Structure 1
């Protein structure tokens, strides 16, 4: 497996070019097919007609494939004949596609993308602000935590015990981040590096390197001893990290709460913790960033379809919790928290009001 080296400075421009292409294609015509065409409309709570939609935003395998298939199963059982098709993609790309009406639903979208889209920053700099062009449907989880895992051999060799030591010791660190199109992970990593006084360019100037790979490939690089550190947000515990710890000695490089708090506020994410025992090599509670995930849509999708979509997930919350341990906190109170970052779609808003979740 080759190590893909691209500077963080180029990452946003690469993603921005891809998003600009999405907007150009959308302007040439074409829109994703849906259940009821056109937004608005009255909601009939007793309607059981099929829902047809396309959802994008996650990778083609692993958790997001499982999540999409599980959601499709729930919708089909509630409304026979329905189909929520899944197309692999990136969170930022999904947001752009939703805003342009190319797909009905975007998943795996964090407050990091949502804020950048509203401000027209990062990957949305060339497309401009998307404020008002996408609307909230539901929050799925808030438990994707930033991993700061290093091989013990490298940490011992260079005297690395904390994140601050990386900046002070300037070791030839080979670090695996996430893939270039995953803006939420790259942005979070970039901000943490900056808080400690260094950058990707600094790492490279120390004789190190950065690998932009999907999380599974990043773990594989560490297993092959081609990188020294894995730094991206995934769920805890992650079986790939657990398995790796059985063949290599690993350490968690702690970050400081006071460094993380302004980053979390700026990005719209949360401060979580890693608890002793969640991995065998974690001995003390330590803070880290915890990233939320939302599903969004646009105003062209009917109130009826979004109402039914939200109702199906709400009425099957026990099944949603069983999809993956990261979904164990799924609840009506969590679902409605999507409104913290984005205005609710009217269909979702009506359902949440009926359930007493909104004032």
Structure 2
């Protein structure tokens, strides 16, 4: 089941011209610079932009095509904006239940207790919005949208107005939403660290057009796209928690290409975990170095060598157990090591972030 969309909108100074195929499960990130069309696409999906040249099918049901148009209030979706926009005169409980009470009983698939537990709101139900932190307010806004039992959740940069501490507070709850609810999410962001942590699928936008769309792991490491050549170029490694080294405050992540030691994570052994590795934090060696302070060394195969816009550097694409890894190394090092496609080398990973 998928979401298929074709939108064309000409505003003179901005033109949106996109064809989209969005998976019917997981989190799809609309990613690009400001003005690339992310929010406009979200508004088209919601029906807030009524455009003449458009087509939208959701799980086989036509929401828009030709003269056929499903109005906003009939589309089974929830919308979370940048600002929480809670009702200041209502307590958290009543804010959460605002849409729920207006929903026919036979359409209620989620209950207040379930959403309160999922988003950690149980202790906040009797507070007013002015007594909440920014992260708490946004969690209430997400809960309010979920309690309308949507079949699709649209999120427009829900953490854009939050400080670093509040973002760190809300991210684990968004991960729980992704992992525990079978509601497809379309998530708008221009922060790659958010996308790397939450998304499964990505639509990369530039000036109102789609540069590429596909699995997140693939788009991050495609060297024909700008992401792999940016300062924040990175790769995602998907694995499971293999062990905890309590005395060293480390967690061991296992995947087909080996193991990685990362900072301690309060997750049970056997649970899925993803790690983000920046290209600048990976160096290569022809043999496994001894006596190094770098904890993580992976035997990898060089699958591609491409020029980097940064003078004097190249980008290596490395295969590690079927998952791609990027390394930004100097052109001189590449020549000295005589690196070539198909060669087996060791990747030394200096930094690993939980993604």
TM-score, length-normalised on structure 1? 0.23
Kindly indicate which of the two structures has a greater share of residues assigned to helix.
Answer: 1
RCO higher in structure (CA 8 A, sep ≥6): 1
User: TM-score, with normalisation over the residues of structure 2?
Assistant: 0.24
Could you say which structure has the larger radius of gyration? 2
Query: More strand by proportion, 1 or 2?
Result: 2
